[in-house]
């Protein structure tokens, strides 16, 4: 249990905000909701927020944004895209 000022944080009090944050990440990760791939969702969420947050997550614009910013993507996201491409037979330049 942690106290901040007059407020006390307990594991139970953190569950709802943590669940909301996770759902937000899963919902807005670029073109990943469409692909329903946990590797992409978990490894590329930060890249989406950093590089492509202005694009609707369910739009083709997100894929174009990721393609434009491929060199700026985190190593984890690039690895997840590569793994996804291998698994599905997709081409990396489509991302």
Select the highest-mean-pLDDT range: 16-20, 23-27, 50-54.
Answer: 50-54
Instruction: Kindly report, residue by residue over 37-87, the tens digit of the pLDDT.
Output: 888 889 999 999 999 998 887 788 888 998 999 999 999 999 998 998 898
Instruction: Count the helix, strand and coil residues of the chain and give each as a percent rounded to the nearest 5.
Output: 70, 5, 25
Select the more confidently predicted residue: 8 or 39. Answer: 39
Q: Tokens 């946990």 sit at which residue? A: 38
Q: Which pLDDT does position 14 carry in this prediction?
A: 59
Confidence category of residue 18, pLDDT binned at 50, 70, 90:
low
What is the C-alpha separation between 89 and 12, in angstroms, rounded? 42
């Amino acid at each position: 249990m942690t106290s901040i000022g007059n407020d006390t944080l307990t594991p139970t009090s953190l569950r709802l905000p943590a669940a909301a944050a996770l759902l937000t990440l899963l919902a807005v990760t670029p073109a990943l909701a469409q692909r329903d791939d946990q590797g992409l969702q978990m490894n590329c969420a930060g890249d989406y927020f950093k590089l492509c947050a202005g694009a609707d997550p369910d739009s083709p614009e997100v894929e174009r944004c990721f393609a434009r910013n491929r060199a700026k993507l985190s190593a984890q996201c690039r690895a997840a895209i590569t793994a996804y491409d291998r698994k599905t037979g997709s081409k990396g330049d489509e991302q």
